[in-house]
Structure 1
Amino acid sequence: MSCAQTISDYALRSIGIGERLLPRADITLCEQVTLIGSGMLWNVYFGALALAFGFFFATALAVAKATPAPLIRKPAEWFIFIFRGSPLFIQFFLAYELFVNLPRVGIELFGITLATANLTKAWAGALIVLFLNTSAYSAEIFYGALRSVPKGDLEAADAYGITGWTRFRRITWPTMMRLAWPAYTNEAIFLFHATALVFFSGFPAWQQKGDALYYASYFAEKTFNPFVPYPIVAGYFVVLTLAVILTFGAINRRLNRHLPQTQRPRLRIRPQIVR
């Protein structure tokens, strides 16, 4: 089988398109690169959706933590503390055990039955855990930036009669984003790296539609050589990290386009070793 045929058969296998049976003998480098790359689609799925939904939830948590009202501030503080204070792997484990014990018929809430059957699968359950985890870390970043918004900007807004939601939307929130973006970029990079933990969590792959480590582990077992599939996974994550840096760097330049070139903050990537 040629490499082109292998790519045609296996490039989208992780999402259910292409050959169902995995290669069992005479495994080639092209097959490993193709199938592990196919599994990366799930890592991108987990990271992109958790980051997208977590961004808005984190903004709300940061504002809630900064509010003087205890009934709003305290729940936000405890949510951030719990998810930042416990290991991500333990969160995966506890969430899976919780979802397994939910009624299979669903939960009735305000007369509406919410489906729970898919929560024990990786594409739903693991995504929820990653969403909650990154929301907590991002909220702390946004909260610090919110507290660092120059008082002069807020006083100038008050002088012009800009108050309430308009002040937050036009003054506070943009400034908060400019201050938080370098640190938030590091959080985004770590989140994509953390998607590799989904393979080790209790959430099973749905119909053998696994992530990159799912296929790397398969090839390591079949070839008895882990020094080929796992470096391939690392290479894919390096490429993904570069894509995140370029994307977030472009957004950072957009956020600071009004500043002189010499005063624009540069992204400084500081990967976290452990969560």
Structure 2
Amino acid sequence: MDDCLQTIADYGLRSLGIGQRLLPKENFTLCQQVTLIGSGMIWNIYFGVLALLFGFFFATGLALSKGANSPWLRKPAEWFIFLFRGSPLFIQFFFAYFLFLSLKGVSPVFNPFTAAWLGALIVLFCNTAAYTAEIFYGALRSIPKGDIEAADAYGLTGWPRFKKIIWPTMLRLAWPGYTNEAIFLFHATTLVFFSGFPAWQQRGDALYYASYFADKTFNPFVPYPILAGYFILLTLAVIGLFGLVNRALNKHLPQEQRRKIKLRPNIIR
């Protein structure tokens, strides 16, 4: 027990550069694997939370632009969504890293973009914004005409109508699909350190450490189930948190009309 507590103290925050710098080389214990893989989850949560947070607002703007009458707003939004939904996320990471690497040679201001904490975050932000925008756009088109007519009857136009009627209704309709997008985004964060962005001083995410132990022990049946267990817990946390928001969005509706969150597997990202 004392050895495990010492392992947690040594490696619990190693992915952030706190604690032991060198990874264990032999005699790997279960505690070491659980601790280091859990340490890597800090990065997966970082990527997922920030990409969702900023991508949510950008996706709202993209959805509105895609539904706009002006081609100057509609076409850029359509092409952005098509580009990031039409290409694999792995390829997006690959090209983004080499783009940032090229820009780094132009000006030192681009140096941080070649690091995973910023460069990979930008890719995830653009990717989830594109998928979320399509979900929101579908919800916008599904808003009952009666809601819009009622808003017009009350004299609501422009920003007040959007704030009080269109945006809340859009979120209510889109939230189950958006919950699935959030889950898939967290799963997609495992691609970051396998797609070009290097792990500086071996400070990788959860999959990075799981692969390290699998390669060193020649036994993937210990680290990868540990990794899966962490992501199952993370998925349950996302479902629980988004479920609370979903209930708040639907609290004014009768029980039988409330949209429920259903997990739909994503075959390919």
TM-score range (shorter-chain normalised) is over 0.9
1:49 alignment counterpart: 50
1:202 alignment counterpart: 196
Letter in 1 for 2:88: P
1:146 alignment counterpart: 140
2:39 alignment counterpart: 38
Letter in 1 for 2:10: D
Letter in 2 for 1:244: V
1:67 alignment counterpart: 68
Give me the whole-angstrom Cα distance separating, in 1, the residues matched to 2:64 and 2:51.
Answer: 20
1:82 matched to 2:83? The reply is yes
Letter in 1 for 2:155: G
2:247 alignment counterpart: 253
2:151 alignment counterpart: 157
Q: Secondary structure at the match of 1:207?
A: helix
Give me the whole-angstrom Cα distance separating, in 2, the residues matched to 1:204 and 1:118.
Answer: 12
Measure how far apart 1:207 and its partner are.
2.9
Q: Secondary structure at the match of 2:201?
A: coil
Gaps of 5+ in 1: 108-114
Measure how far apart 1:256 and its partner are.
0.4
Letter in 2 for 1:54: G
Measure how far apart 1:103 and its partner are.
3.6
Give me the whole-angstrom Cα distance separating, in 1, the residues matched to 2:132 and 2:25.
Answer: 43
Letter in 2 for 1:99: F
Alignment deviations for residues 170-200 of structure 1 (CA, whole Å, 9 cap, x no partner):
1000000000000001100100000011121
Output the TM-score relative to the length of structure 1: 0.95
Give me the whole-angstrom Cα distance separating, in 2, the residues matched to 1:37 and 1:178.
Answer: 34
1:120 matched to 2:114? The reply is yes
Give me the whole-angstrom Cα distance separating, in 2, the residues matched to 1:194 and 1:162.
Answer: 41
Give me the whole-angstrom Cα distance separating, in 1, the residues matched to 2:107 and 2:183.
Answer: 35
Q: Secondary structure at the match of 1:268?
A: coil
Give me the whole-angstrom Cα distance separating, in 1, the residues matched to 2:116 and 2:206.
Answer: 13
Give me the whole-angstrom Cα distance separating, in 2, the residues matched to 1:202 and 1:265.
Answer: 40
Say which of 108, 127, 130 aligns to 1:133.
Answer: 127
Gaps of 5+ in 2: none
Letter in 2 for 1:274: I
State the percentage of identical aligned residues.
73
Measure how far apart 1:273 and its partner are.
2.2
Q: Secondary structure at the match of 2:103?
A: coil
Alignment deviations for residues 115-155 of structure 1 (CA, whole Å, 9 cap, x no partner):
21011111111111010000000000000000111111111
Measure how far apart 1:261 and its partner are.
2.0
2:103 alignment counterpart: 102
1:224 matched to 2:218? The reply is yes
1:21 alignment counterpart: 22
Q: Secondary structure at the match of 1:102?
A: helix
Give me the whole-angstrom Cα distance separating, in 1, the residues matched to 2:107 and 2:162.
Answer: 39
Letter in 2 for 1:149: I
Please identify, of 238-247 and 14-23, the stretch whose mean Cα deviation from structure 2 is larger.
14-23
Output the TM-score relative to the length of structure 2: 0.97
Say which of 210, 228, 236 aligns to 1:234.
Answer: 228
Alignment deviations for residues 27-69 of structure 1 (CA, whole Å, 9 cap, x no partner):
1000000000000000000111001100000000000000000
Contact 1:37 1:236 in 2 (8 A): yes
Give me the whole-angstrom Cα distance separating, in 1, the residues matched to 2:106 and 2:95.
Answer: 21
1:264 matched to 2:265? The reply is no
Say which of 149, 172, 175 aligns to 2:169.
Answer: 175
Give me the whole-angstrom Cα distance separating, in 2, the residues matched to 1:152 and 1:103.
Answer: 53
Distance 1:175 1:119, change over 3 A: same
